[in-house]
Amino acid sequence: MRTTAPISIIRNGWEYVRLPLNDGGIIEINQDVQWGCPVIRDTRIPAESIAGKHEAGDSIEVLCNLYFITEEQAKACINYVNAPLKGPFGKK
């Protein structure tokens, strides 16, 4: 089941939500792929992996060559992971 629903994160009992960005459908959440983690559509590459390597110092060009993705896909991953969390909405 594919979805673009927001991801709910519980921290210290409070619920936070990361809303999907208008990225043209590059990032998807599919419960059957990578346990529902956000990935690049039609791949098994987690968005957090791309953003983490970029934060560690890899350039977008290096990431594109390493993972065989486009610059647009790499930037969508970085933007998604760095999108602010909305909340807290209430205790769970």
pTM of the full structure: 0.71
CATH number for the domain running over 2-82: 1.10.10.10
pLDDT at residue 90, rounded to an integer: 54
Residue 17 CA, distance from chain mean position: 13
For residue range 26-78, list pLDDT tens digits in order: 888 777 888 878 899 889 999 999 999 999 999 999 999 999 999 999 999 99
**Residue in this structure with the two tokens 């790499």, named with its chain if needed:** 74
* Residue partners of 69: CB distance under 8 A and separation at least 6: 40, 43, 45, 50, 63
Reply yes or no on whether the pLDDT at 3 is more than 50. no
Q: Where are the domains of the chain?
A: 2-82
Q: Are the CB atoms for 1 and 79 separated by under 8 Å?
A: no
pLDDT at residue 18, rounded to an integer: 62
Residue 16, Ramachandran bin (φ over 0: left; ψ between -120 and 50: alpha; else beta): beta
